[in-house]
Chain A
């Protein structure tokens, strides 16, 4: 079955700097790669996703890149703000209609 590895497990950045979180997956049949943000005591919130027919997707300060050949994808947050502090999870699945396999999460701290 699918296995998703996520790095780093913790990340501290200064406000205004960029943050990058990386994930690798094992099943070449996976085609859907969402990212979730989870604040303490809250539900995971979908922040961006990418499907295998595109290599990059941007939404304001957030971008995701996908390299299907190498089976890895990354989340990029630019101009970080204190409210970006949270745990971020990557996931992989065959499509949005199939169960997702999650990475173990990255705790991002943005220091003001």
Chain B
């Protein structure tokens, strides 16, 4: 599992509330990514990071922010959750050795 954990694994929240999802890795990987998965859309990139404090936007970044103050943690924040952000969120890393991307277990977020 490339040492990736995500928390929480499930969350139900209300429209307008802030939400932070955490991705934690234990193997010192430099590159980390947040994707969302929705039926009919596959996986779409939200934000990614290529090192501590180095982040960039992806295809569907509106309404999301990220932070990476430590190598091991990549946080995704929904400042004011909307129903359109109901989705499954996957964190991913790239391994240093093989340059392959592996996914975390996912977080299922429901915004009511």
Contacts and interface: CB of A to CB of B under 8 A. Distances in A.
Interface of A: 1, 6, 32, 34, 36, 42-46, 49, 89, 91, 95-97, 99-105
Label chain B's interface by main secondary structure: strand
Given A97-B31, A97-B99, A100-B43, 19 more contacts: A1-B59, A34-B101, A36-B103, A42-B105, A43-B103, A43-B104, A46-B100, A46-B101, A49-B100, A89-B43, A91-B43, A96-B94, A97-B94, A99-B48, A100-B45, A101-B59, A102-B35, A102-B42, A102-B43
A103 B94 CA distance: 19
Interface in B31-51: 31, 33, 35, 40-45, 48, 50
Given A43-B105, A44-B90, A96 B43 contact: no
Contacts of A95: 99
A62 B103 CA distance: 21
Interface magnitude class on chain B: 20 to 34
Contact of B42 (A1, A43, A97, A103): A103
Nearest to B43: A102
Residue of A42, A45, A105 with highest tally of chain B CB at under 10 A: A105
B89 to A, nearest CB: 11
A100 B42 contact: no
B38 to A, nearest CB: 10
A26 to B, nearest CB: 14
Nearest to B56: A99
B44 A34 contact: no
Contacts of B106: 43
A103 B40 CA distance: 10
